[in-house]
């Protein structure tokens, strides 16, 4: 949808962005300690450009993700992917996955997809901001500049009791006070811009009183 905004309008909206301060991971009460999950992707480096196949300009499948060990007592793992650079009041949600088994250490390419009532192992894929179940391929407006796509992974002490397709606010409330550790990974994408790594801003959200240690740019 956003890819159809003309270049001139995208350029006019360059400074209209939801903002990194509205990402789920930096909301009050979400992450209350400094324990960090190691989250990465074999398809792109942290802060690097997303390959086109994961976007609306390609096949639009979700990228593969891998992560390290979770803390003892983890009941399940949840993932939310947001674009804080969207010209919208809140970051656009590109994916929500919850009830990932605590022993799982990866999501393969294309695994964030419509799954109806969920997978056999209990995980469930929710709706994105366009109210479609599964991965919302990045489609930033032409001329709007680089967008960050922020993958946020949470190890949870209790598995949240969520509706089949919860909204963003419901996910935030389910995470609050329930996060044992969190991981962060950023991919960038743009249209009509230099395809290099974004370098115009750096945001370092706080985990309680301790620095997350990963740039969001």
- Quote the percentage of the chain above a pLDDT of 90: 59
Q: How many domains does the chain have?
A: 1
Cβ burial of 119 (10 Å; 0-12, 13-18, 19+) is middle
Which pLDDT score, from 0 to 100, does residue 193 have? Answer: 65
Q: Which domain holds residue 70?
A: 2-211
Q: Is residue 23 part of a domain?
A: yes
Tens-digit pLDDT profile for residues 76-88: 999 999 999 998 8
Q: Is residue 199 part of a domain?
A: yes
Q: Is residue 217 part of a domain?
A: no
Which pLDDT score, from 0 to 100, does residue 122 have? Answer: 78
Tens-digit pLDDT profile for residues 126-138: 889 998 899 999 9
The average pLDDT across 114-135 equals 86
* 171: pLDDT strictly greater than 60: yes
* 208: pLDDT strictly greater than 50: no
CATH number of the domain where residue 69 is located: 3.90.280.10
Which pLDDT score, from 0 to 100, does residue 116 have? Answer: 81
Q: Is residue 149 part of a domain?
A: yes
Mean pLDDT of the chain: 83
Report the predicted TM-score, pTM, of the whole model to 2 decimal places: 0.84
Tens-digit pLDDT profile for residues 159-168: 888 877 777 8
Q: Is residue 42 part of a domain?
A: yes
Q: Is residue 152 part of a domain?
A: yes
Which pLDDT score, from 0 to 100, does residue 10 have? Answer: 41
Q: Is residue 115 part of a domain?
A: yes
Rounded-to-integer distance, Cα 20 and Cα 166, Å = 22
* 204: pLDDT strictly greater than 70: no
Which pLDDT score, from 0 to 100, does residue 201 have? Answer: 39
Of the spans 27-31, 148-152, 170-174, which averages the highest pLDDT? 148-152
Which pLDDT score, from 0 to 100, does residue 83 have? Answer: 97
Rounded-to-integer distance, Cα 109 and Cα 106, Å = 10
Q: Is residue 216 part of a domain?
A: no
Which pLDDT score, from 0 to 100, does residue 15 have? Answer: 66
């Amino acid at each position: 949808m956003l890819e159809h905004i003309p270049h001139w309008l995208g350029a006019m909206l360059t400074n209209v962005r939801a903002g990194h301060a509205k990402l789920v991971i930096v909301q009050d009460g979400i992450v209350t300690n400094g324990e960090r999950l190691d989250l990465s992707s074999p398809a792109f480096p942290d802060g690097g450009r997303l390959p086109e196949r994961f976007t609306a300009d390609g096949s639009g499948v979700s990228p593969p993700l891998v992560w390290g060990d979770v803390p003892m007592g983890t009941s399940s793992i949840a993932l939310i992917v947001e674009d804080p650079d969207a010209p919208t009041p809140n970051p656009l949600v590109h994916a929500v996955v919850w009830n990932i088994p605590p022993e799982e250490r990866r999501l393969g390419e294309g695994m964030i997809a419509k799954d109806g009532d969920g997978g056999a192992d209990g995980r469930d894929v929710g709706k994105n901001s366009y109210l479609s179940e599964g991965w919302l391929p990045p489609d930033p407006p032409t001329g709007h500049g680089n967008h960050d796509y922020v993958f946020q992974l949470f190890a949870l002490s209790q598995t949240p009791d969520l509706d089949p397709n919860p909204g963003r606010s419901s996910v935030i409330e389910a995470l609050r006070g329930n996060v044992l550790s969190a991981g962060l990974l950023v991919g960038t994408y743009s249209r009509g811009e230099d395809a290099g790594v974004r370098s115009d801003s750096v945001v370092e959200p706080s985990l309680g009183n301790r620095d997350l240690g990963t740039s969001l740019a």
